[in-house]
Structure 1
């Protein structure tokens, strides 16, 4: 029984560690670095960034964005809709600015038109497969319900583990005391 308990505790500790690490990578790191976490919603960047992938996009100096970079940009300047595609070409404009030709890895042709500097939001720093689906589901009103339930469930689990540990220690002390009493009674 103690082997099963140890195994279950190890598995739960591992799951908790993974959840904490994903939370740090998806929430804390972007917040601290001024990056943005976004979810890939389409299959245009498969197989590297399939739908449901969480991408963390960090601000990148325009002159550092080169062909091969995966860039996130606004479809139309000033509007919230963004796309994350690979840069195929970088062009200098007459006024010293930049414009880019982009293409989704799974798309047969480049995106229409050029991406102007003002549209660029940054480049993909790192990605976490499947985590984007969770962030899509847990938004707005759902988040207001799910987060408190998750906190309550984890708190109940933590308290139950503490209580189980205290009970186990108490049993061990009683066993040790009973064994000492038996040894003392059988000693001459």
Structure 2
């Protein structure tokens, strides 16, 4: 009876050249690009958060509380309130103001220009009525007496550096510039998220397609 001989198994001999495993190319550039996308998206989200924060402290909160944002322009209240600080001034009854409060008042009654200095003394007399003595933390001498008609309120809260943004925009610009920037950043962050998600799905799809086993080669039967 004729039998079919087993196919010979060829083993590598000394001196044979063995081809190394194929090198997967393109993985490192894709990883670098993906990392860059994450960094850009993170920066966009951080910038969006900053814009929303500025909009809240400059527009939303003061408007809801009936307060007024004011920018510190001089160094008279350093180190507590350095130049560029945004102070939000909230109205307060003059009889409720106490020594130690930082009070915002008009330099001259009826003049829109204001000063925010600390109250260091309060006097009341039948002759002059109620008067406040104020002084900048960084000043050596006290200010002239302040009467109730000059008082605009006390400092409710302050935010360093944001005053520069407040000074750069007038009242009408503040009402639309910051919200518009916020909307644009939200759209940009959404676009980056969708783009990154789509790219990730495509990479997984290509990886799954590349992992499928190759079809076996047909061989003629040996006689």
Number of residue equivalences: 184
- SS where residue 209 of structure 2 aligns? helix
Write the mapping of 1:1-188 to structure 2, written as runs, cut at 5 A.
Answer: 1=32, 2-94=34-126, 98-112=130-144, 114-139=145-170, 150=181, 154=185, 157-158=188-189, 160-172=191-203, 174-175=205-206, 177-178=208-209, 182=212
Please provide the CA RMSD for this pair. 3.2
Superposition deviation, residue 162 in structure 1? 4.5
Q: 2: distance between equivalents of 1:72 and 1:126?
A: 12
For CA contacts below 8 A with separation 6 or more, give which structure has more relative contact order: 2
1: CA distance between counterparts of 2:61 and 2:40? 30
Gaps of 5+ in 2: 1-31, 217-223
Contact 1:90/1:100 (8 A) holds in 2: yes
The TM-score normalised by the length of structure 1 is 0.81
Secondary structure of the residue that 2:80 maps to in structure 1? coil
TM-score under structure 2 normalisation? 0.69
Question: 5+ unaligned residues in a row in structure 1: which ranges?
Answer: none
Match of 1:115, SS?
coil
Q: Which has the higher helix share?
A: 1
Deviations 1:118-172 (A, max 9, x none): 1111000111111111121233798799669846863673464145235314414
